A and B are shown apart, each in its own frame.
Chain A
Amino acid sequence: SAVISQKPSRDICQRGTSLTIQCQVDSQVTMMFWYRQQPGQSLTLIATANQGSEATYESGFVIDKFPISRPNLTFSTLTVSNMSPEDSSIYLCSVKGQGSTGELFFGEGSRLTVL
């Protein structure tokens, strides 16, 4: 299994500001992902965080808005830039576990409210 810690767990932000969310895993993992869950919606994949290289973004998400870093195999950050109220969501970090089953593990999420 993998234990994932996300910070902050929640925050209230002002329009136009940026916020960085941290994801720390208790073991080295090959694959890390960032998801977004908007109010009343399903989880949507934002990007795959690649260690040592640029993240791979899904359709509809761009690096300028959601820059991602992954300096090593246990840590990643997601920044939500120039926030607007539409960015109010829960942001979740997810990692692929070790072993053949490849189960995905999720952090508890970071709930952002943009005023």
Chain B
Amino acid sequence: GNSVTQMEGPVTLSEEAFLTINCTYTATGYPSLFWYVQYPGEGLQLLLKATKADDKGSNKGFEATYRKETTSFHLEKGSVQVSDSAVYFCALERSNYKLTFGKGTLLTVNP
């Protein structure tokens, strides 16, 4: 079946630090992959996505590359800000917009 394994949190960083949140998946075929973010008091928002192998999704300084050989989609940002504090969810699309999510990683960035 389809599953997503995400780095356990919480993750606490200082401002301007480098961020990596690991995500690996198990799936049949090559599903689209997503990172969603949930800021405090808000709903989930799409952060970035990749639809095929070697695609790189990017948004707001965040990047993730679809790696077929390692079945991974790690989220990275070179310099985090306090405003990046949120919960980050890795997800894959099974079919017809139905998503399978990881457990989420809480990121706290301190000034």
Contacts and interface: CB of A to CB of B under 8 A. Distances in A.
B103 A42 contact: yes
Contacts of A96: 97
B99 A104 contact: yes
B94 to A, nearest CB: 8
A92 B98 CA distance: 13
B27 interface: no
Interface stretch (B10-18, B41-49, B68-76, B78-86): B41-49
B44 A106 contact: yes
A58 B94 CA distance: 12
Interface string A13-47: 00000000000000000010100000011111100
Contacts of B99: 43, 45, 104
Given A92-B44, A109-B43, A41 B103 contact: yes
A102 B102 CA distance: 21
A44 B3 CA distance: 11
Interface residues of B, number: 19
A109 B99 CA distance: 16
B46 A103 contact: yes
B49 to A, nearest CB: 8
Interface centre among A44, A45, A96, A104 (most CB of B within 10 A): A104
Contacts of B43: 4, 92, 105-109
Contacts of A92: 43-44
Interface in A80-115: 92, 94, 96, 102-109
Nearest to B38: A106
Given A103-B46, A109-B43, A43 B97 contact: no
B41 A43 contact: no
Contacts of A31: 96-97
B97 A42 contact: no
Interface in B35-56: 36, 41-46
Given A43-B89, A106-B43, 14 more contacts: A4-B43, A31-B97, A42-B6, A42-B89, A43-B99, A43-B101, A45-B99, A58-B98, A96-B97, A104-B46, A104-B99, A108-B41, A108-B43, A109-B43
